[in-house]
């Protein structure tokens, strides 16, 4: 079968690559053409566009790049027609993917959506488009199945969260060897995950680094995002007790004592590695003002949303400052407070469903094409 896959972010590249590997297991003749990243390209097939060319964050940034987005949409449609796939698989990235899905369904292509757009958070009206334009939806969060089926009468498949597979299948590393390779000392590690896009890194990293001189018994390590060079990060580094490691986030988290994490998938990844964390978010003033009026959620981190309580502290916009951040970091370094995290993280993993999300999804897609 021929599969056209569209992912527009680093997390989509990760989950897309694992889905492709699983599709190869169930379909010996699987052929791929895709929008994604280095991980998907390693599996095989043809990379059409890298997600680095597609990542626009926030309302203002999207408006500023409308012309580029329109060109990408037009190009994508032509590319799909030329490839003529048996199935199109959308991975999150809703602003772009739902537009392609509308066109693709009308053209008669089979449309599969893996990792639902977060319409339970905002733009719930998109459910009309999804019901019209998506043949099969595969959701990865436990509350999403009830949201779609009970609230909107749209059947979906709950397949579990692919991060569990990504983390459990990784190769274990040697602590001392990793530290030696990356010039790290024996001090406990505080990991800094400032996001994957330049806009969010710019907003987050300087505040995170403002704490460095207050914690001489620890070392701070920046987790460099795929697609972002050290030259971009180094402009923010003014202190000595800071290291930078590119594209090794999972290895870094496996050795970390605590983490400061920009809101997004990374909060869930950090929790699955059982690392106490402070969740941080700061956007442009306009984007934040618009966002808080349209997003209907009690929390911004996936950890808290899934557990339905504030298990991890969220510092949003003006609360994300050195004073508050230091207070919360002190708490997660306290042994008693840390115990609470481990209990909550255990409950979180149980709710996420267990291993096999990629293979379940691949099997369901392949079987649907043979019906």
Percent of the chain predicted with pLDDT > 70 = 93
- pTM (predicted TM-score): 0.81
Domain CATH code at residue 28: 3.40.50.2000
Q: How many CA atoms lie within 13 A of 65 on its CB side?
A: 16
Give yes or no: residues 228 and 345 share one domain: yes
Mean pLDDT of 124-151: 96
Give yes or no: residues 8 and 112 share one domain: yes
Give yes or no: residues 226 and 249 share one domain: yes
Both tokens of 131, joined, read 């019901």
Give yes or no: residues 89 and 183 share one domain: no
| Residues 142/306, Cβ–Cβ less than 8 Å | yes
pLDDT value, residue 290: 47
Distance separating the N- and C-terminal Cα atoms of the chain:
13
Dist. CA 259–CA 303, nearest whole Å: 14
What is the C-alpha radius of gyration for the chain, rounded to an integer number of angstroms? Answer: 21
Both tokens of 91, joined, read 């991975």
Under DSSP, the state recorded for 278 is E
Quick: pLDDT tens for 161-177: 999 988 988 888 999 99
Give yes or no: residues 267 and 336 share one domain: yes
Give yes or no: residues 364 and 347 share one domain: no
| pLDDT confidence bin for 198, thresholds 50/70/90 | confident
Picking from 91, 99, 9, 39, the residue whose alpha carbon sits closest to that of residue 362 is: 91
Q: Residue for token digits 């920046």?
A: 222
Structural domains in the chain (count): 2
Q: Residue for token digits 């003529």?
A: 84
Contacts of 146 (CB under 8 A, 6+ apart): none
Mean pLDDT of 145-150: 95
Give yes or no: residues 217 and 125 share one domain: no
Give yes or no: residues 345 and 360 share one domain: no
Element (H, E) at 331: helix 322-332
DSSP class per residue in 21-33: HHHHHH-TT-EEE
Taking phi over 0 as left and psi of -120 to 50 as alpha, with beta for the rest, 139 belongs to beta
Give yes or no: residues 227 and 95 share one domain: no
Dist. CA 363–CA 361, nearest whole Å: 5
Quick: pLDDT tens for 85-127: 999 999 999 989 999 999 999 999 999 999 999 898 888 999 9
Dist. CA 360–CA 356, nearest whole Å: 6
Domain of residue 101 covers 2-160+356-369
Give yes or no: residues 99 and 139 share one domain: yes
Dist. CA 214–CA 208, nearest whole Å: 12
DSSP class per residue in 166-177: HHHTSPP--HHH
Quick: pLDDT tens for 327-359: 999 999 999 889 999 999 999 998 998 889 999
Give yes or no: residues 144 and 265 share one domain: no
pLDDT value, residue 55: 60
Dist. CA 254–CA 217, nearest whole Å: 19
| Residues 281/317, Cβ–Cβ less than 8 Å | yes
Give yes or no: residues 188 and 120 share one domain: no
Lowest mean pLDDT among 266-270, 282-286, 295-299: 282-286
């Amino acid at each position: 079968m021929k599969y056209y896959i569209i992912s527009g972010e680093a997390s989509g590249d990760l989950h897309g690559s694992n889905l492709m590997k699983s599709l190869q297991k169930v379909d010996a003749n699987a052929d791929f053409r895709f929008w994604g990243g280095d991980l998907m390209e390693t599996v095989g097939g043809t990379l059409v566009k890298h997600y680095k060319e597609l990542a626009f964050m926030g309302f203002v940034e999207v408006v500023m790049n409308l012309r580029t987005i329109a060109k990408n949409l037009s190009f994508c449609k032509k590319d799909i027609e030329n490839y003529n796939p048996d199935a199109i698989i959308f991975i999150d990235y809703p602003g772009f993917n739902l537009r392609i899905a509308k066109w693709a369904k009308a053209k008669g292509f089979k449309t599969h959506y893996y990792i639902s757009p977060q319409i339970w958070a905002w733009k719930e009206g998109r459910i009309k488009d999804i019901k019209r334009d998506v043949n099969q939806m595969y959701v990865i969060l436990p509350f999403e199945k009830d949201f779609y089926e009970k609230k909107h009468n749209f059947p979906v498949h709950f397949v579990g969260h692919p991060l569990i597979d990504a983390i459990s299948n990784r190769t274990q590393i040697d602590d001392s060897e990793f530290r030696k390779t990356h010039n790290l000392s024996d001090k406990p590690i505080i990991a800094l995950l400032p996001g994957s896009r330049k806009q969010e890194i710019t907003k987050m990293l300087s505040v995170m680094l403002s704490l460095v001189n207050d914690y001489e018994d620890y070392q701070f390590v920046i987790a460099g995002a795929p697609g972002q060079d050290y030259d971009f990060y180094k402009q923010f580094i003014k202190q000595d007790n800071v290291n930078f490691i590119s594209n090794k986030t999972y290895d870094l988290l496996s050795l970390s004592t605590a983490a400061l994490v920009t809101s997004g998938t990374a909060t869930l990844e950090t929790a699955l590695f059982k690392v106490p964390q402070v969740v941080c978010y700061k956007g442009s003033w306009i984007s934040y003002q618009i966002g808080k009026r349209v997003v209907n959620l009690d929390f911004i981190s996936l950890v808290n949303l899934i557990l339905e309580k504030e298990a991890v502290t969220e510092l949003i916009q003006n609360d994300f400052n050195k004073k508050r951040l230091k207070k919360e970091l002190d708490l997660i370094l306290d042994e008693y407070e840390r115990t609470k995290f481990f209990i909550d993280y255990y409950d979180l993993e149980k709710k996420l469903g267990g291993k096999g999300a990629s293979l379940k999804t691949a099997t369901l897609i392949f079987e649907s094409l043979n019906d």
